[in-house]
Amino acid sequence: MQIQTPDWVKHAVFYQIFPDRFARSQHPHKKLLKNATWEDWDAMPTLQGYKGGDLWGVIDKLDYLQDLGINAIYFTPIFQSASNHRYHTHDYYQVDPMLGGNAALHELLGAAHQRNIKVVLDGVFNHASRGFFFFHDILENGPHSPWLNWFKIHDWPLAPYTGDAPANYEGWAGNRALPVFNHDNPEVREYIMEIAEYWIKFGIDGWRLDVPFEIKTPGFWQEFRDRVKAANPEAYIVGEVWRDSREWLDGTQFDGVMNYLFAAPTIAFCANDRVDLQQVESRSYEPYPALSAVVYAQKIQELLALYDWEIQLTQLNLLASHDTARLLTIAQGDRASVELSTLLLLTFPGAPSIYYGDEVGLPGGIDPDARRGFPTESAWDRELLEYHRQLIALRHAYPCLRTGCYRTLYAEGMVYVFARQLDAESLLVLINSSTQAVRIDLHLAQAELSDRPSQVLFGTAQLAWNSDRLTVELPARSGCVVG
């Protein structure tokens, strides 16, 4: 079977937005909560507090995103919910009124698409919430509810709010706030499929699927793909799976996954022994222990061998997300770790994803600290912002960085070099993760490059050619792109 994935994703640079924390608008269309008492925007976030970000605010910032070079947005959940992160869905057909409701999403899609920016939403289809009407009916009517078989009820009475008694129903990860759907029930399955179709037809460009590995009903994700792709053949389906994902990346289910298998070795190589273990030990991706260039090269080759090339090109590559600490904090404030990792992110096959605020140096430990309000301009690290902007522009300018083949050319000590090549275009990416300046000799006769790299396109390095040997001098803790 020939695997097909959406072409636009191969050329996308994503920006992940946590809607409550990105931008709070004073939009004239805003009818509700104009005078709400929000948590202070710059205060440390709390588990239950709202800061009042909304979709109108995102519309106001589309020019900023476009200037950065962003052409796709992934939103964490936006549907009605009684939680600031909105993974506790109340109504799958209503955008949360705090975010502006369905009207705000409609306007956002129009404004984004006008700028050729795609929009992907978070689909939380494994579980709902205690406030979800169908489950709420069970809480009110017990065994008389017509929705009993929609969830996994074990006994009576149900105890949704107290830890002193058994919940008597299945909650995700034992959390009684998140009742799990019974996906073996054909009605539940159809309900979820219709939600997926509804929003694709509404105009969204794809779904990011929350904990999809929890849904084990045979054929569920195959049907999901068929239904979504029938509504829009170019819709993007990306799963949240942190480890080896071959089970879902066979061409019949997802187009890609959140590529934590890229994030982990990249952080371990670039941040090295600076990684604060307290920020990562409770998560599943393990960006430690420190890696040499040789081991990094090995892990990257193993990753590139896991999946079909069409899938590789539509992986969602990332360094941080709402589920992890931010890289700046993981690396204990070391900006070079962020820069080197970002250089590898923006030159790797697949769609890079920048977690909101990372491009301006927003710090943050593990949840909820990684979900801070987007900083005001006075607090931006403008050099880091410019670093991101230039790298994104480079990626857009050179097709080989998006769909070209990837070949490791050199890996010794803490120095890693690879080539991206497409037809007559080839670029070299060089990373020196050590604390010492280095001089390396690249024997490129066997590299079969389509042209002779002679110009530093990004970063700082000294180049000298001698026959088929390229000598490069790289400063400590730096990287460059040569073409």
Say what the pLDDT of residue 281 is: 95
- Residue showing tokens 């929350």: 210
What is the count of structural domains for the chain? 2
Q: Which of 20, 54, 210, 255 is catalytic?
A: 210
Say what the pLDDT of residue 118 is: 99
Say what the pLDDT of residue 27 is: 72
> Residues 437-450: what's their mean pLDDT?
84
Question: Quick one: 393 and 409 in the same domain?
Answer: no
Condensed to tens digits (0 to 9), the pLDDT of residues 140-183 reads 999 999 999 999 999 999 999 998 999 999 999 999 999 999 99
Say what the pLDDT of residue 452 is: 80
Alpha carbon distance 198, 253 (integer Å)? 19
Condensed to tens digits (0 to 9), the pLDDT of residues 211-249 reads 999 999 999 999 999 999 999 999 999 999 999 999 999
DSSP classification of residue 420? E
Looking at the chain, the whole-number percentage of residues with pLDDT higher than 70 is 100
Question: Quick one: 21 and 96 in the same domain?
Answer: yes
Alpha carbon distance 369, 21 (integer Å)? 11
Query: Is position 42 within any domain?
Result: yes
Tokens for 19, please give them. 């809607």
Alpha carbon distance 416, 301 (integer Å)? 13
| 247 carries an active-site annotation | no
Query: Is position 141 within any domain?
Result: no
Say what the pLDDT of residue 375 is: 98
Query: Is position 158 within any domain?
Result: no
Condensed to tens digits (0 to 9), the pLDDT of residues 54-82 reads 999 999 999 999 999 999 999 999 999 99
Tokens for 206, please give them. 């794809």
**Which alpha helices (DSSP H) does 271-364 contain, by range?**
293-306, 309-312, 327-330, 335-346
Question: Quick one: 217 and 311 in the same domain?
Answer: yes
Condensed to tens digits (0 to 9), the pLDDT of residues 94-136 reads 999 999 999 999 999 999 999 999 999 999 999 999 999 999 9
Contacts of 378 (CB under 8 A, 6+ apart): none
Say what the pLDDT of residue 339 is: 98
Residue where a domain stops, chosen among 397, 416, 445:
397
Beta bridge partners of 206: 120, 236
Pick the residue with more confidence: 96 or 443?
A: 96
CATH number for the domain that contains residue 410: 2.60.40.1180
pLDDT band at residue 450 using 50, 70 and 90 as cut-offs = low
Q: Which of 240, 334, 339, 359 is catalytic?
A: 240
Question: Quick one: 100 and 243 in the same domain?
Answer: yes
R_g of the chain computed on alpha carbons: 23
pLDDT tops 80 at residue 447: no
Residue where a domain stops, chosen among 364, 397, 430:
397
DSSP classification of residue 161? S
Query: Is position 157 within any domain?
Result: no
Question: Quick one: 191 and 65 in the same domain?
Answer: yes
DSSP classification of residue 95? E
pLDDT tops 90 at residue 366: yes
Beta bridge partners of 363: none
Question: Quick one: 357 and 226 in the same domain?
Answer: yes
Alpha carbon distance 151, 218 (integer Å)? 18
Please give the model's pTM, rounded to 2 decimal places.
0.97
Distance of CA 28 to the CA centre of its chain: 31
Contact status, residue 215 vs residue 192, Cβ threshold 8 Å: no
Tokens for 329, please give them. 């904090």
How far, CA to CA in Å, does 242 sit from each of 192, 206, 275, 342?
A: 23, 19, 19, 19
CATH number for the domain that contains residue 323: 3.20.20.80
Question: Quick one: 388 and 423 in the same domain?
Answer: no
Residue where a domain stops, chosen among 397, 415, 433:
397
> Residues 294-301: what's their mean pLDDT?
98
> Residues 188-213: what's their mean pLDDT?
98
Query: Is position 79 within any domain?
Result: yes
Query: Is position 379 within any domain?
Result: yes
Closest CA to 67 of 349, 317, 360, 337: 360
Question: Quick one: 470 and 336 in the same domain?
Answer: no
Tokens for 136, please give them. 């709420």
Question: Quick one: 329 and 200 in the same domain?
Answer: yes
| 240 carries an active-site annotation | yes
Alpha carbon distance 222, 241 (integer Å)? 16
Say what the pLDDT of residue 319 is: 98
Query: Is position 192 within any domain?
Result: yes
Residue ranges of E strands in 314-437: 316-318, 351-355, 405-412, 415-422, 425-432
Query: Is position 442 within any domain?
Result: yes
SS3 call for 299:
helix
Question: Quick one: 351 and 443 in the same domain?
Answer: no
Identity of the highest mean pLDDT range in 20-29, 447-456, 468-477: 468-477
Range of the domain at 323: 7-126+183-397
Condensed to tens digits (0 to 9), the pLDDT of residues 391-422 reads 999 999 999 999 999 999 999 999 999 999 99
Question: Quick one: 275 and 356 in the same domain?
Answer: yes
> Residues 6-24: what's their mean pLDDT?
98
Tokens for 337, please give them. 């770790």
Contact status, residue 235 vs residue 229, Cβ threshold 8 Å: yes
Question: Quick one: 292 and 420 in the same domain?
Answer: no
Alpha carbon distance 99, 112 (integer Å)? 16
